[in-house]
Amino acid sequence: MPAPRRYLIIAHRGASAYEPENTLRAFRRAIELGADMSELDVHLSKDGQLIVMHNATVDKTTNGRGAIKDLTLAELKRLDAGKGEPIPTLQEAIDLVRGQNGLYIELKAEGTPGPVVDLLRVNSFTARRQVIVGSFQPLLVQQVKELAPEIATSLLVEPVYPAEQLIALTKAVQADYVHLCWESRHLQPHKLLTPELLGALRAAGLGIVLWHEERPSELRLLRTLDVDGICSNTPDKL
């Protein structure tokens, strides 16, 4: 087996195996555990604030109910996101991690590219070591790159297509990274991520980020691959 290569350790929704996901507590724990970045998800509130949460509603991870787009920041801040943690804004996440690690921002909703770019620029938080902005929605990725060519972007895709298609999809939106996501498709991702696939992506000049994984047996194998980042709920295992 090849020796492990260096890659970004990306804490998925923060150190979410140990703390409530997408909270400042989870991002703080990720820093303590040595993560290079925390992955988080962004929506827009009713009053246009950038809210950190995975789902479009607050039902699953808080003691409230309703869609984020229908609630104001003040209403969202009254909710408990776990262990007494409030729902954070993107600005609060930036303030927490600045100078300690970076953010991998996944855009979840239409209308987020402009406000996210504006906020990152106002905070001088646009360097590649600080931030990557990605989405499953190609249009959102394309909009970020058109607004801010200096910001690194990624396209999240399931590697069920031939390498040529993955490359074409990623380059069509000018993304810097292809983020390979297999959760619903493959129980042994190391077999899916063949040398031929990864080699073709590299030859096309693309960076490679891997979907979150927690199984020690899989992590041992993923760590040997030529990739730029691996996501995990357990960043300390990477």
| Residue-averaged pLDDT of the chain | 95
Q: Exposed, middle or buried: residue 5 (CB in 10 Å: 0-12, 13-18, 19+)?
A: exposed
Per domain, the residue ranges of the chain are: 8-237
Question: pTM higher than 0.75, yes or no?
Answer: yes
Active site residue 190: no
Alpha-carbon gap, residue 153 to 159, rounded angstroms:
18
Tens of pLDDT, residues 169-194: 999 999 999 999 986 555 788 888 99
Alpha-carbon gap, residue 223 to 230, rounded angstroms:
8
Alpha-carbon gap, residue 182 to 192, rounded angstroms:
9
Q: Which of 12, 43, 179, 190 is catalytic?
A: 12
Q: Which of 43, 54, 186, 212 is catalytic?
A: 54
Superfamily of domain 8-237: Phosphatidylinositol (PI) phosphodiesterase (3.20.20.190)
pLDDT at 190 (0 to 100): 80
Show the tokens assigned to 189: 């991702």
Angle at 10 between CA 206 and CA 170, to 5 degrees: 25
Residue 1: pLDDT band (50, 70, 90) is: very low
Alpha-carbon gap, residue 195 to 57, rounded angstroms:
39
Active site residue 12: yes
